[in-house]
Amino acid sequence: MKRGADPRAVAAQALDRCVRGGESLRAAFATFSTKLPDSRDRALLSALLHAGTRWWLRFDRAADLLLQRPLREHEPLVHALLVLGLVQIEILRLADYAAVAATVDAARALGRPAHANLINAVLRRWLRERAALATGLDRDDVSRSAHPRWLLDMLATDWPGAVDSIVAANNAEAPLTLRVNGRRASRDGFLAQLTNAGIGARVVPGLAHALMLDESTDVTQLPGYAQGLFSVQDGAAQHAAVLLDAQAGMRVLDACAAPGGKSAHILEKADVQLLALDSDPQRLPRVRENLERLGLSAQLQAGDAGNPADWWDGRPFERILLDAPCTATGIIRRQPDIKLHRRAADVAALAATQRRLLDALWPMLAPGGRLVYATCSILAAENSRQLDGFLADHADARGSAPALDWHAFGGGVQNLPGEGGMDGFFYAIVDKAT
């Protein structure tokens, strides 16, 4: 098979698109992976892009220490390639000589042959002086942790005793967790299928349908994928449908449904009338595809949950799931580009959106009904303080903390990144008085 473009040169372009262009890691990978026909090269691109965004705030600074004249402004692709060279050595733990040689070759593949010798010299200097240079980087909290200052400050306020553990979890790769489709397979039966195929997996305590794989893999190649026996869903997210407790025949709203994982789980658990709503109509085809693969169906609707006049038919819902838009600070280990794209100002803006959605959805909930408020954030402004403010302003709202062995966080519960092998997630149950 033709190998296609140099994967490290492609990775430098994709990383620059994420850092300077503000594009998501997922979108950049989708765009640039098309240049690499070989699956091995695509796997390397994924590894480089994840590690490059995860550790940018450390090795971007390291590159400056190694250069008399920074490359960032006038040669951004070479700068990104140099960061990736350091990442290969320190994070991916490739053989030193191989990482240096391949990065030098990538400079030529990028059309920057004049910089090949510079990259070679800089990376070799790092190898000679790495201990002293690393010590210097560790003196600054940002370059030590590879987390932006605003986020470190908020974590220190909200979770003063857990900052180091949160940072460590964010800088580690997340495990791959599956949710077995209970309508088509049992968890134990599917686990046996995986075992027979030589794939290591284990059950996740407290979740009836979750399996955590020993190693990440291409899930489309797992047994049962085409037959809809499972979905990919982190264990923390699998609690949403359980807490919602939708019963057969109920009218249910998933207010921010895309890509459809929680909608599917709700339908797997009970025969309900589900409306899967999302503000972005371009994301709904993916929801439909996911449901169809699992043998499920729902009413799909494009619309802003905060503006029900455009889509609501006036009939109340007995259950509402609001997995609200948030900073996603609980899933940085899966989407490390969040550290590069989020800003402190986003917190207040997203908190305002969350409150707008809560206020708009509440009148749609039937008396005696339940709303589950969820975010993949770990910040108080989006979670505990958001819930407290909503309950204070709605006399018919009865908040309760879910019965999960997580951290009590205001009137809800919070899992921090990595705890139980799961993502950072917040849940609160709000029941409506009859």
Structure tokens that stand for 320 in this block:
């509402």
Indicate the DSSP class of residue 376: S
Total tally of structural domains belonging to the chain: 3
d(CA 276, CA 295): 16
Q: Which domain holds residue 194?
A: 177-232
Residue 24 lies in a domain: yes
C-alpha closest to that of 277 among 313, 240, 233, 239: 313
Judged against a pLDDT cut of 80, whether residue 1 lies above it is answered with no
Helices (H), 110-244: 116-138, 141-145, 149-158, 163-170, 187-196, 239-244
Distance CA 231, CA 241 (A): 14
Same-domain check for residues 412 and 287: yes
Q: What phi and psi, each to the nearest 5 degrees, are found at residue 378?
A: -120, 20
Q: Is residue 202 part of a domain?
A: yes
Flag whether 165 is in a domain.
no
Q: Which two tokens stand for residue 36?
A: 């690499």
Please say if the pLDDT value at position 4 is more than 90: no
Q: Are 424 and 416 in contact (CB under 8 A)?
A: yes
**According to the model, what pLDDT value does residue 134 have?**
97
Contact 115, 75 (CB under 8 A): yes
The reply to whether 254 and 368 lie within a common domain is: yes
**CATH code of residue 205:** 3.30.70.1170
Same domain, 211 and 286: no
Kindly state the average pLDDT of the residues 317-334: 98
For 86-108, what is the mean pLDDT?
A: 97
Q: Are residues 203 and 123 in the same domain?
A: no
For residue 13, pLDDT over 70 is answered with: yes
* Mean pLDDT of the 245-269 span: 98
Tell me the C-alpha to C-alpha distance, in Å, between residue 333 and each of 119, 172, 207: 29, 6, 21
Residues 301 and 395 in one domain: yes
- In the chain, the percentage of residues whose pLDDT exceeds 70 is 99
Task: Judge if 224 and 267 occupy the same domain.
Answer: no
| pLDDT of res. 324 | 98
Q: Is the pLDDT of residue 260 over 60?
A: yes
Cβ 317 vs Cβ 364: under 8 Å: yes
CB 39 within 8 A of CB 33: no
Which CATH number characterizes residue 22's domain? 1.10.940.10
Whose tokens are 């990065």? That residue is 103
Separation of alpha carbons 334 and 171, rounded Å: 9
Binned at pLDDT 50, 70 and 90, residue 73 comes out as: confident
Same domain, 326 and 417: yes
Please give the share of the chain, as a percent, with pLDDT higher than 90.
97
Q: Is residue 222 part of a domain?
A: yes
Q: What is the pLDDT of residue 2?
A: 44
Same domain? For 130 and 197 the reply is: no
pLDDT tens digits, 383-422: 999 999 999 999 999 999 999 999 999 899 999 999 999 9
Residues 140 and 32 in one domain: yes
pLDDT for 376: 98
Q: What is the pLDDT of residue 3?
A: 56
Q: How far apart are CA 302 and CA 284, in angstroms?
A: 7
Q: How does strand 251-254 pair with strand 273-278?
A: parallel
Retrieve residue 343's tokens. Answer: 């800003």
Q: How far apart are CA 415 and CA 412, in angstroms?
A: 10
Domain match, 132 and 47 both: yes
Contacts of 238 (CB under 8 A, 6+ apart): 177, 179, 207, 209, 210, 265
In 3D space, the residue among 359, 372, 360 whose CA is nearest the CA of residue 312 turns out to be 360
Binned at pLDDT 50, 70 and 90, residue 32 comes out as very high
For strands 397-400 and 425-432, give the pairing: antiparallel
DSSP 240-288: HHHHHT--TT-EEEETT-TT-HHHHHHHHH---EEEEEES-GGGHHHHH
Task: Output 350-354 pairs: Cβ under 8 A, ≥24 positions apart.
Answer: 350/325, 350/326, 350/382, 351/381, 351/382, 351/385, 351/386, 353/306, 353/324, 353/325, 354/324, 354/325, 354/326, 354/382, 354/386
Q: Is 18 part of the annotated catalytic residue set?
A: no
One of 18, 256, 326, 376 is an active-site residue; which one?
376
**Band of pLDDT at residue 248, cut at 50, 70 and 90:** very high
Say what the pLDDT of residue 70 is. 87
Q: Is residue 14 located within the same domain as residue 51?
A: yes
Mean pLDDT for the stretch of residues 315-334 = 98
CB 244 within 8 A of CB 323: no
CATH number where 375 lies: 3.40.50.150
Domain assignment present for 58: yes
Last residue within a domain, chosen from 232, 256, 276: 232
Q: What are phi and psi of 374, to 5 degrees?
A: -140, 145
Which pLDDT does position 263 carry in this prediction?
98
Pair 255, 358 in one domain? yes
Confidence class for position 88, pLDDT limits 50, 70, 90: very high
Model pLDDT for residues 354-384, shown as the tens digit of each residue? 999 999 999 999 999 999 999 999 999 999 9
